[in-house]
Structure 1
């Protein structure tokens, strides 16, 4: 008679971690795994050599170049033959430091103070998928993904039916946009979807064509900064080229098009970040956005032209949101690049999971994208569509 042995307890080891850090991890839901704490690596090595318990991850509190950082990881892999996800908890981190740390083989880095929700999403995922993700520097075969037949049929049927039923609304929006302001009705930006393929991503125009000039014309409404810097204002009107485009010696590589009109999407994104704290952008009504544009943005009607993207095969109803070129190019050799092994979609997992929760980080979104890429199916898509409806009723758009 064969005896079925109980599954061996999975253990996450903590090295050099203070009480606060260990308590934060202990209070997080890490998939039922046990936590074992050691004051230093030597004590851990002694226990490991003796019992060979089921180690699934190691968390070390250390600066990247400290004794508990990259050098400890090299010892674990090269001398102890321990190949499990290695996480760092650190106080001082920059973008370049994080990039270097991940390239060295560290699974993930958590900067203090730690958000428990980040731990609950990222640590279990990386433990479960570590065998697939530990060769993160290998470029994924993006072109392996093909839309399943049943999903493609559903996409065409759903998008066609939606366009038919919504045609009175779409025609009304087109008329209102034309009546309110001059300019094209639609615009498109280049986006990267499944298989890392670039396509034209359509939306209704929601801003005035001369949006930047309107900012200058209405700057007197800014009571917090009445004496705005004229040189800064004039500079915004000059032709924009980011450092990357200048280095390439080309024109803008990140354009948004509306018929014969062109904007730089990267300029808009960087300006928004740079001026996030500016009093001018605290005006109650953004002068760049038309009245009709404000309504269609708040109601997500501006996204409806993407139904055409679905019909022609660029996108699906459910999938990971397609990314601008300058964001997608950062993910080609990163462990998060798995997101491109799923269809690009109008709605997806992170939209319904986190809509209305402003504290969601970029890492959390990417991990949810990876989760969808690993688990998506036709019935899973149906569930997400049903969950999208109540998500749309929440105030904060994403």
Structure 2
């Protein structure tokens, strides 16, 4: 597996400027549209779990190891983190991630919003704030970062994204190392053209879901 050419990446100042411009405009437009979708999802969630919160904030690791609160629509039961210890042995993906296809912590509404990636929509607020980009590597959890190799840490050279090359290339059907390879490939070939391609492919995936769960 090749590594990122840091010198080439640092020279892409105009690409990063345009990327931020697209992030701001895209997140503002996206948040307006997302508000309508989230309203209907919130109603469904309150019918299913009247006392449960709509949103879920989780500490993630961004560019250069900076920690931030990432927002999502809650798709799991209220005590999901407490139940994780019991389920960790059932992990179905190798590497520094936890994935379980039939995760019992996921609610009825949660199954739908995860399949369609609707649960990710609040991350547009993270994009507007500057914690994330529309396109980039998936932001890891703190417990995942502890298991990272030096090569895995190259994923932190750019801002994490709401979507990325991994998400439109098989998602949960790929293992952790394949995800790392795709993220490094994305970072090493960073361009606005590639970002636009991934955004359009993400829209297609949301309409016709792939391996999301």
TM-score normalised to structure 2 length:
0.80
Counterpart among 77, 83, 88 of residue 208 in structure 1: 77
Which consecutive residues of structure 2, in runs of 5 or more, have no partner in the other structure? 93-100
**Counterparts of residues 23-42 of structure 1 (less than 5 Å):** none
Which residue of structure 1 lines up, in the alignment, with residue 155 of structure 2?
339
CA distance in 2, matches of 1:354, 1:292: 23
CA distance in 2, matches of 1:375, 1:386: 18
Which residue of structure 2 lines up, in the alignment, with residue 330 of structure 1?
147
**Counterparts of residues 212-251 of structure 1 (less than 5 Å):** none
The answer to whether the 8 Å contact 1:317/1:346 transfers is: yes
CA RMSD of aligned residues (A): 3.0
Where 1:207 maps in the other structure, the secondary structure is: coil
C-alpha distance after superposition, 1:282-335 (max 9, x if no partner):
xx986543322222122211111111111111101100110001112333x612
The answer to whether the 8 Å contact 1:355/1:397 transfers is: yes
Looking at secondary structure, tell me which structure has more strand per residue: 1
Counterpart among 50, 57, 61 of residue 188 in structure 1: 57
Which residue of structure 2 lines up, in the alignment, with residue 76 of structure 1?
none
Looking at secondary structure, tell me which structure has more helix per residue: 2
Which residue of structure 2 lines up, in the alignment, with residue 197 of structure 1?
66
Where 1:352 maps in the other structure, the secondary structure is: coil
The answer to whether the 8 Å contact 2:56/2:74 transfers is: yes
The answer to whether the 8 Å contact 1:145/1:194 transfers is: no
CA distance in 2, matches of 1:196, 1:144: 21
CA radius of gyration, larger in: 1
**Counterparts of residues 1-398 of structure 1 (less than 5 Å):** 122=1, 125=2, 148-181=16-49, 182-210=51-79, 263=81, 268=84, 270-275=85-90, 288-331=105-148, 334-355=150-171, 358=173, 360-392=174-206, 393-397=208-212
Number of residue pairs matched by the alignment: 199
Provide closer, same or farther for how the CA distance between residues 362 and 145 of structure 1 changes in structure 2, counting only shifts above 3 A.
Answer: farther
Where 1:187 maps in the other structure, the secondary structure is: strand
Q: CA deviation at 1:387?
A: 2.0
C-alpha distance after superposition, 1:202-248 (max 9, x if no partner):
1111233256xxxxxxxxxxxxxxxxxxxxxxxxxxxxxxxxxxxxx
Q: CA deviation at 1:339?
A: 1.5
The answer to whether the 8 Å contact 2:116/2:209 transfers is: no
CA distance in 1, matches of 2:194, 2:102: 39
CA distance in 1, matches of 2:39, 2:209: 26
Provide closer, same or farther for how the CA distance between residues 306 and 371 of structure 1 changes in structure 2, counting only shifts above 3 A.
Answer: same
CA distance in 2, matches of 1:286, 1:382: 32
Q: CA deviation at 1:144?
A: 11
Higher RCO, 1 or 2 (CA under 8 Å, sep at least 6)?
2
The answer to whether the 8 Å contact 2:34/2:121 transfers is: no
